[in-house]
Structure 1
């Protein structure tokens, strides 16, 4: 094969549509646009969803609900959950394995709800100011 012998497969290339070049071309006079009306005119078209002045579907339907995508990846657990878990070292993987946070969770935070008497070390898990104070009072730490 030589560079000068390369050509596209048969049927891959076809002639560009030439409108307004006489009746014999099949696209003369109105150029395939039909007669009169907004669609036949240059620059005369409408936006997506326009229904000719009728109230569009997206405006007729009621607005309902909203689900934040950030909530899917953020999770929180309580001091009571940590107490029940009973592990000395807690990270995100341990919490997922215990079923305390969903599998999709990326950011986990401990909130101050309940009591904690175990010394727990948090690794890669955040904590609120109150929760951090409670964990440190019980002899644990937040890394």
Structure 2
């Protein structure tokens, strides 16, 4: 079983988030605030937030956007969970989610959309890499409900 690297990172609401945490954590990496896929994904986690909370799961999003961008994104879509700002790609590199992608015919380095379920002992119970947004949040919820 893969192990979660320990880290502490700055997040929205003036918080620092450390992992491993207490209980289960869904740590999801996404490319950019306020883009269509990332917004759909964040809204999915928001809309299923009560079900995740009922399963004692903490949701945390990560991208390279600034805390200011994250705060605006969080407020605009009323996200009930924190977002980690990782402009130096420290957390992204710990989870190996930085990939070369093709954008309009150019190679660009960016975050590969990925989700990890991590327990309080730091075990990565499940990892999804290079995932597609439709149905993903429901798949993560179904998985955590089996634990």
TM-score band w.r.t. shorter chain = under 0.3
TM-score, L = length of structure 2:
0.24
Pick 1 or 2: higher relative contact order, CA cutoff 8 A, min separation 6. 2
Larger proportion of strand = 2
